[in-house]
């Protein structure tokens, strides 16, 4: 097969060729990959030995081969969603879940892990290697390796249905956000909105076919996307429109074709049934089996402690806000508006006035300077060195104090409500690890995805960020740094891999506190 005809999803290593990947390649690509990996896995089961080289390394190669291809598809589902990609994703997802179940529930693999942990080689393994083995044993047990017959069959049905429900839930939220638009034409409807919000609303209107829309004369389109929604709730004086927008926002995907209520009910039932099959009384216990918190009671105790110490202050603040707004009838759609007004009156401070101080290029310069001061790393633009999925995406490299390149990352900063899910996240594109390449041991460098949904550039100005958007960027960069600055050479424990999910937030909180 020549390189021109190979499905780009089957390359299996290196940076994803985003410029060549199409939705129609997903089904044939993943089908062919799974067939190949099924054979390789059967071979491994037949000849597995309880050693690092006879078990962990060959299994890692199979899992990484799968996660390279499936990771790209999952990433595109989040940042460049389309009907074609959805259909392809949903077609192959069941096969993928079945294969992952097969790996996780393999008795020969599980027994080999147990034998490795109890064998002579164990003492010679590094802590990171031991961590990988211990986690694999625990994960197999949480994936139903101890189940047989009807119980195992039922567990696998649950896993399959939960995967499908999760995808449907996510798609419904994206579609529900996209479905609502508030078109405004009268000056009184936009009273109180700052110039940045009006410019974005006019730009949105132009993108919807209102080619003559201007910030001064409208029409203006407000959406449920954060950069549009939040300024409207904070600054619009029209209370009825705030109520309309608020109710639309909190009821996204809760009625009609996109209603997620059935999904929620079903997910809760299935999670409870799954927990029982695994010998736990609640799904919360299953969740905590992989986390730092010792048990459900400890989590509830912490939440209650937080509630106790904050409740009186919160009550007092609410009373002060009611007094300031001169009303006892303060609704949910009023709090952001009156809080902003109260801040202005108390501190002569308006969050909008800070935006000109936070253009994205300046924020990145400050963030990279901070990373250099704390960690001794130099971050420089590497645009053009990697294929990207959207023209707004940037690519950067990180070098250490000796000017050696140690990592790269993509930054996808702006909201695109038509195709990109809301929120902000960091994900791994490539994990650090020592790997054999052409018979030589080489260090594979980590690559991260950093994804935000901040205010896009408007009218040829750079993206002017709110302080909250700046904090979000610093937060996600903290996750990125944990992934990229890792010195662990085993990919199963490098970066954020195998870090408890309630500990993963530490580096991100650390970074955002510098703001």
280: domain CATH number? 1.10.1370.10
Mark whether 234 and 342 lie in a shared domain. no
Question: Which pair of tokens denotes residue 354?
Answer: 């800070």
User: Given 125, 146, 167, which residue is the final one in a domain?
Assistant: 146
**Helix/strand/coil for 495:** coil
Are the CB atoms for 132 and 63 separated by under 8 Å?
no
Q: Which of 36, 117, 107 is nearest to 69 (CA)?
A: 36
Each residue's pLDDT tens digit, 414-431: 999 889 988 999 999 999
Predicted local confidence at residue 418, as pLDDT = 85
Mark whether 443 and 479 lie in a shared domain. yes
Each residue's pLDDT tens digit, 148-159: 999 999 999 999
Q: How far apart are the C-alpha atoms of 358 and 58, rounded to whole Å?
A: 48
Which parts of the chain sit beneath pLDDT 70?
1-4
Mark whether 309 and 370 lie in a shared domain. no
Mark whether 340 and 378 lie in a shared domain. no
User: Given 146, 178, 212, which residue is the final one in a domain?
Assistant: 146
User: Given 146, 167, 189, which residue is the final one in a domain?
Assistant: 146
DSSP 337: H
- Tell me which residue range forms the domain holding 224: 147-291
Total count of domains within the chain: 4
Are the CB atoms for 333 and 234 separated by under 8 Å?
no
Which CATH number fits the domain that encloses residue 505?
1.10.1370.40
The number of residues making up the chain comes to: 515
Mark whether 400 and 478 lie in a shared domain. yes
Mark whether 456 and 504 lie in a shared domain. yes
Mark whether 266 and 154 lie in a shared domain. yes
Q: What is the 3-state secondary structure (H, E, C) of 275-327?
A: HHHCCCCCHHHHHHCCCCCCCHHHHHHHHHHHHHHHHHHHHHHHHHHHHHHCC
Which CATH number fits the domain that encloses residue 135?
1.20.1050.40
| Residue with the two structure tokens 């801040």 | 343
End-to-end CA distance of the chain: 52
Q: How far apart are the C-alpha atoms of 287 and 514, rounded to whole Å?
A: 31
Predicted local confidence at residue 417, as pLDDT = 86
Question: Which pair of tokens denotes residue 226?
Answer: 């954060």
Dihedral sign, Cα of residue 274, residue 251, residue 75, residue 34: positive
Sheet of 405-414, strand order:
378-381, 394-399, 405-414, 447-454, 425-430
Q: Which of 103, 72, 96, 98 is nearest to 85 (CA)?
A: 72
Mark whether 271 and 320 lie in a shared domain. no
Mark whether 215 and 323 lie in a shared domain. no
Mark whether 192 and 251 lie in a shared domain. yes
Question: Which pair of tokens denotes residue 65?
Answer: 């081969």
Each residue's pLDDT tens digit, 222-242: 999 999 999 999 999 999 999
441 φ, ψ (degrees, to nearest 5): -80, 125
Q: How far apart are the C-alpha atoms of 52 and 121, rounded to whole Å?
A: 8
Mark whether 364 and 458 lie in a shared domain. yes
Burial label, 53 (beta-carbon count in 10 A; 0-12, 13-18, 19+): exposed
Tell me which residues are annotated as active site. 476
Predicted local confidence at residue 1, as pLDDT = 42
Mark whether 333 and 384 lie in a shared domain. no
């Amino acid at each position: 097969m020549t390189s021109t005809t190979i499905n780009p999803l089957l390359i299996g290593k290196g940076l994803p060729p985003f410029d060549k990947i199409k939705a129609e390649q997903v089904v044939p690509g993943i089908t062919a990959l799974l067939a190949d990996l099924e054979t390789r896995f059967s071979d491994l089961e037949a000849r597995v030995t309880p050693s690092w080289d006879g078990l962990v390394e060959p299994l890692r190669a199979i899992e990484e081969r799968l996660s390279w291809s499936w990771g790209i598809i999952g990433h595109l589902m989040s940042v460049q969603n389309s009907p074609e990609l959805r259909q392809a994703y949903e077609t192959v997802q069941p096969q993928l879940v079945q294969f992952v179940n097969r790996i996780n529930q393999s008795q020969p693999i599980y027994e080999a892990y147990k034998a490795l942990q109890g064998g002579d080689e164990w003492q010679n393994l590094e802590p990171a290697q031991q961590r990988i083995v211990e986690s694999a044993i625990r994960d197999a047990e949480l994936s139903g390796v101890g189940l047989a017959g009807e119980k195992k069959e039922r567990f696998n049905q649950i896993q399959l249905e939960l995967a499908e429900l999760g995808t449907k839930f996510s798609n419904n939220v994206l579609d529900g956000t996209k479905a609502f638009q508030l078109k405004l034409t009268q000056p009184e409807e936009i009273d109180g909105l700052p110039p940045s919000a009006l410019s974005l609303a006019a730009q949105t209107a132009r993108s919807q076919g209102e080619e003559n829309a201007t910030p001064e004369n409208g029409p203006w389109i407000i959406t449920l996307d954060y950069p549009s929604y939040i300024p409207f709730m904070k600054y619009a004086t029209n209370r009825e429109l705030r109520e309309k927008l608020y109710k639309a926002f909190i009821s996204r995907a809760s009625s009609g074709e996109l209603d997620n209520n059935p999904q929620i009910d079903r997910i809760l039932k299935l999670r409870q049934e799954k927990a029982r099959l695994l010998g736990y009384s609640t799904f919360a216990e299953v969740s905590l089996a992989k986390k730092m918190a010792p048990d459900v009671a400890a989590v509830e105790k912490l939440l209650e402690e937080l509630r106790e110490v904050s409740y009186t202050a919160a009550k007092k603040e609410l009373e002060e806000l009611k007094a300031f707004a001169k009303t006892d009838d303060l609704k949910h759609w009023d709090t952001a508006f009156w809080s902003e007004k109260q801040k202005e009156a108390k501190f002569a401070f308006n969050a909008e006035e800070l935006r000109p101080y936070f253009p994205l290029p300046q924020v990145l310069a400050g963030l990279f300077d901070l990373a250099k001061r704390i960690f001794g790393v130099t971050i420089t633009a590497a645009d053009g060195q990697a294929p990207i999925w959207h023209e707004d995406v940037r690519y950067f490299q990180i070098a250490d104090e000796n000017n050696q390149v140690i990592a790269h990352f993509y930054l996808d900063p702006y909201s695109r409500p038509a195709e990109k899910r809301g929120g902000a996240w960091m994900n791994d594109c490539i994990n650090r690890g020592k790997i054999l390449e052409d018979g030589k041991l080489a260090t594979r460098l980590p690559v991260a995805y950093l994804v935000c949904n901040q205010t896009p550039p408007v009218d040829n100005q750079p993206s002017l960020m709110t302080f909250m958007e700046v904090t979000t960027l610093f937060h996600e960069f903290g996750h990125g740094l944990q992934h990229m600055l890792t010195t662990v050479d085993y990919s199963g424990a490098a970066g954020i891999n195998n870090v408890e999910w309630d500990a993963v937030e530490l580096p991100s909180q650390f970074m955002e506190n510098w703001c």
